[in-house]
Amino acid sequence: PHGYPGELVSVLIDQETVQAKVRELAAAVAADHTLDTPPLLVCVLKGAVMFTTDFARAMPIPSEMDFMAISSYGSATTSSGVVRILKDLNSDITDRRVVIVEDIIDSGLTLSWLLKNLQSRGPAAIDVVTLLRKPEAVKVPLEPRYVGFDIPTEFVVGYGLDYAERYRDLPFVGLLGAHMYA
Ligand code: PRP
Ligand code: MN
Ligand code: MG
């Protein structure tokens, strides 16, 4: 039904399970904010695009949205170690309550770089919500406040996550067959 050959991608987390978790995370984040100070959701492009838009719509309180495009992977399947800003935020986050919205924390490199970068701009607070987290990320001293799913160390695609820019459009989180990128 998703238009990709079925043998290449298997379902790890189906669409309904993803959407239920998005609603749960949105409710949890909303419960920690007051109505008078809408949080600024910082969508980390491109991977977090699907999660952010679903998340904002699932939040029972108002929020604002801004976008930052950074890339550490390029078209590789492992992190290059170099984070590049492809597009910075439009808004000034000084004294703002910021919620970084990420699709996945893998090595933790992207998020630790981003936290340091945004922290230097003087926000009132920064929280992190990530849909997915891999075991490696548990070892680094990052404390994402809201985590959707802890997943195994396998290459995942879909719901915003890509392999060489493909598969972002899948509505579920899938596993890419190892022969695809070995
Ligand atoms: C991916 C993913 C996270 C990051 C996680 O982004 O969307 O942002 O890697 O990996 P890490 O914890 O090992 O740093 P990528 O650099 O592929 O850019 P993209 O979001 O545009 O696909
Ligand atoms: Mn990303
Ligand atoms: Mg990517």
SS3 content of the chain, % helix, strand, coil (to 5): 25, 30, 45
ipTM of the complex: 0.98
116, with CB counted inside 10 A (0-12, 13-18, 19+), is exposed
Spans of all domains in the chain: 16-153
pLDDT tens string, the chain, 182 residues long: the values are 456 766 678 999 999 999 999 999 999 999 998 877 899 999 999 999 999 999 999 999 999 999 999 987 656 666 666 788 999 999 999 999 999 999 999 999 899 999 999 999 999 999 999 999 998 877 778 888 899 999 999 999 999 999 999 999 999 999 987 666 65
From CA 104, how far away is CA 38, in angstroms rounded?
24
The whole model's pTM is what?
Answer: 0.92
Question: Ligand 2 center to residue 126 CA distance, Å?
Answer: 18
The 10 Å Cβ neighbour count of residue 162 is 17
Sheet holding 173-176, edge to edge: 9-13, 173-176, 156-157
Please indicate whether residue 136, judged by its CB atom, sits closer than 6 Å to ligand 1. Answer: no
Q: Which atom of ligand 1 is nearest to the CA of 162?
A: 22
Catalytic annotation on 106? yes
Q: In this structure, which ligand is nearest to the CA of 46?
A: 1
Question: Ligand 2 center to residue 74 CA distance, Å?
Answer: 10
- 16-153 in CATH: which number? 3.40.50.2020
Residue 165, CB-side half-sphere exposure with 13 Å CA sphere: 2
CA-nearest residue, atom 20 of ligand 1: 47
Structure-token pair, residue 74: 């390029």
From CA 59, how far away is CA 29, in angstroms rounded?
8
